[in-house]
Amino acid sequence: MQDADILWFRNPFPHFHDDADFQIACDTYLGSASDRHNIPNGGFVYARSNHRTLHFYKYWYNSKDRFPGKHDQDVFNEIKFDPFLDGLRMRFLDTAYFGGFCQPVKDLNVAITMHANCCVGLQTKVHDLRNVLDDWKRFAKFPMEERSGVSFDWRSPRVRCR
């Protein structure tokens, strides 16, 4: 599952955790895939269909009633430490690969996705995602053997999304 404001640069499947039932991208990644203190972003999620994830999604959905007025991502943040979820093998995706405007991927040689998180408004997101796509196209023009030596930085987000 993913939001519409995400660009994919590479196949994400080789970078998912083999031991996880549920994996979620982050606005802020704190250095450990299993640290529930990471700040997740529900814009990019990979889940295996099994009894643990089915129970989890039902619990997550039903938890919205306990937190009226909160968005699904906010509800997730409220329940991610709940002992009910102890059996769920949850992992948080490293922003070194699965980046976003909150914490952009620094090395384009390993970038998998870029999410226009921490960015409000459709026009703003489209503007900065176009810049990111243009940057990616410029980077991709370099021959593979030269890419690791290329010093390259994203132009976005700069003004519009921070």
Per residue in 59-91, pLDDT (tens digit) is 999 999 999 999 999 999 999 999 999 999 999
How far is it, in rounded angstroms, from Cα 122 to Cα 85?
A: 34
Average pLDDT over residues 33-40: 96
Instruction: Please compute the mean of the pLDDT values over residues 32-49 and round it to a whole number.
Output: 95
Identify the pLDDT of residue 111.
93
Q: Is 11 exposed, middle or buried (0-12, 13-18, 19+ CB in 10 A)?
A: exposed
Asked if 12 and 61 count as a contact pair (C-beta separation under 8 A), the reply is: no
Q: Do 22 and 56 form a contact (C-beta atoms < 8 A)?
A: yes
Reported pTM: 0.90
* Token representation of residue 29: 């990644």
Joined together, the tokens standing for residue 134 give: 């243009």
Q: Which of 141, 136, 147, 116 is nearest to 10 (CA)?
A: 136
d(CA 105, CA 152): 11
Three-state DSSP state, 141: coil
